Structure 1
């Protein structure tokens, strides 16, 4: 803001107790600096230790203020562990309010499943509340990716997509690397790290809550949203699912977008196979991408979800193209 505006705002803040108009101006000034708060979404208990703050929307808009990804938290005897902190300071603050309705224990750790901003920009709220020594865990490749311009790019994109609703969010990077197979103990709860190569991105961390037979899978699978595959791999995703299911066994799979379920990897895997298999066959048969697209759109694994899947119309063509390009690499 210009210097004159800052002086006016400061005067209004000092006199807020005296005039309702000044109090309103102070509120508006704060909202300009930080963006408005996000409406509360009560947490739902999924298992003995795990709670979910569910996002019904799969994409950011001015109306949802960037609330597009689930926030998961685990209540342990040592404190609360958060898995994916949301897309903004404001979403993180809302999550903290919801956590406090469940328990008075402090947040002792945060995990970021990968480097897309809707899963980690809320780190700011947790560090602001619990201090900059708070461990924020992620794969080393996620940390490296966000050290450059990527972190600020996601902050700027979220502001643009939400018409500045996330303004005030600062880039707070994960500070503690984890490795595949690592088990971290938080009081009475063990968290096991899983990473089996490229699926949604090259840096997808899945966090298994061992005692609850529940695994947070980030964006490698989604319930009813077509996933971004720009940096991903179709065969890599199938390989990841197979390895994860073999290692963890039967689980409640909790996605970054959508409702949890024991059949999530199977149902979303079927959808992705409905894109991948026709594209691979088309390439092997010497058919064009246009012919592959027609085959995909007719495949029942895909067509049955066309009317209900979030982002389907705007994205299915792109992800068929990505599958076809990857199929060409695999086939040749």
Structure 2
């Protein structure tokens, strides 16, 4: 199935060498200029995927709104709309907390923001370097200018600027059957640090980072006045978090430090609905994977035995039916827990 837009025109398709040989047939090309312009427009249409359908934003607090992504994984049908896009409306302008998975999703978010407020977007914050949280930067830079501040931790900026940034763009196109085509990798242009504070009009933001959790570059952004904190992917409500770049014990340490420093909050995840007990409930689920694996290693049990212990753990069984991708991912993330437990135990 393809989502490409096409138009029907009797426009000649000229080989590349024709353009390179313009000195010989320049007059002919000038005569064909209207047709060439039409051809260029057709190519652009072909290379850019279709719009993403509008998702009305939900107001979570006085200043914070969320465009909710019901799906936890990218598909051709959802066109990559797999992670929440959050925006904060301040008297100084709008702040974006994670920009989505594509140019098209970012454009949809901009349409929704304009229904809430006429104020422009004045800053974007990216929680980490996984593409579903920053590929939408392209739309905001295109709409509000390339000088728009896009903030992230230094490791996130470095990773997106490297090979992994473009890899995420290609993967998202593949997973969505090219629906996100046309998206460019636009990395953060400003670096933040733990504890840094920002003031945007009537709203204060505080940056939190407590080491490796989901990745080694997880930025959580606290909206002080609203007692709402965007936590990226360190905790999820409706799926198992990818832990390939992360750490189980690191996640538990991060949860404790974040809770101790921010206090009671409405925790807003990158995937799923926000909740005041999100860190507690997701932490219990992760502990149901980690603790049996650690015990299995200490008892000299195999990875297969550890997996069965995990599946029998009531904390895991409780969530097995309501987590997207559980069947496909529990084996992998049990293996990662077992490998990390081996290092931890010895």
Which TM-score bucket, shorter chain as reference?
over 0.9
Closer/same/farther in 2, CA of residues 134 and 282 from structure 1, 3 Å limit? same
Runs of 4+ off more than 2 Å: 3-15, 28-31
* Match for residue 56 of structure 2 among 42, 50, 55: 42
Equivalences, count:
321
Does 2:81 align with 1:67?
Answer: yes
| Structure 1 Cα separation of the partners of residues 261 and 13 of structure 2 | 58
Q: How large is the RMSD of aligned CA atoms in angstroms?
A: 2.1
| Structure 1 Cα separation of the partners of residues 325 and 12 of structure 2 | 44
| Structure 2 Cα separation of the partners of residues 41 and 279 of structure 1 | 40
Please show how residues 294-309 of structure 1 align to structure 2 within 5 Å. 294-309=308-323
SS of match in other structure, 1:4: coil
| Structure 1 Cα separation of the partners of residues 110 and 34 of structure 2 | 28
**What are the ranges of 5 or more consecutive residues in structure 2 without an aligned counterpart?**
1-5, 15-28
TM-score, structure 1 normalization:
0.93
Please show how residues 309-324 of structure 1 align to structure 2 within 5 Å. 309-324=323-338
Q: Spell out, residue by residue over 1:73-125, the C-alpha distance to the aligned partner (whole angstroms, 9 max, x if none).
A: 00000000000000100000000000000000000000000000000000000
Residue of structure 1 equivalent to 2:142:
128
| Structure 2 Cα separation of the partners of residues 285 and 58 of structure 1 | 35
**What are the ranges of 5 or more consecutive residues in structure 1 without an aligned counterpart?**
16-25
Residue of structure 1 equivalent to 2:220:
206
Q: Spell out, residue by residue over 1:288-313, the C-alpha distance to the aligned partner (whole angstroms, 9 max, x if none).
A: 11111110000011012112210101
| Structure 2 Cα separation of the partners of residues 11 and 144 of structure 1 | 42
Residue of structure 1 equivalent to 2:180:
166
Please show how residues 196-275 of structure 1 align to structure 2 within 5 Å. 196-275=210-289
Q: Tell me, yes or no, if the aligned pair for 1:123 and 1:172 is still in contact at 8 Å.
A: yes
Please show how residues 6-85 of structure 1 align to structure 2 within 5 Å. 11=35, 30-85=44-99
Residue of structure 2 equivalent to 1:18:
none
SS of match in other structure, 1:267: helix
Does 2:12 align with 1:4?
Answer: yes
Cα distance, 1:4 vs. partner? 3.4
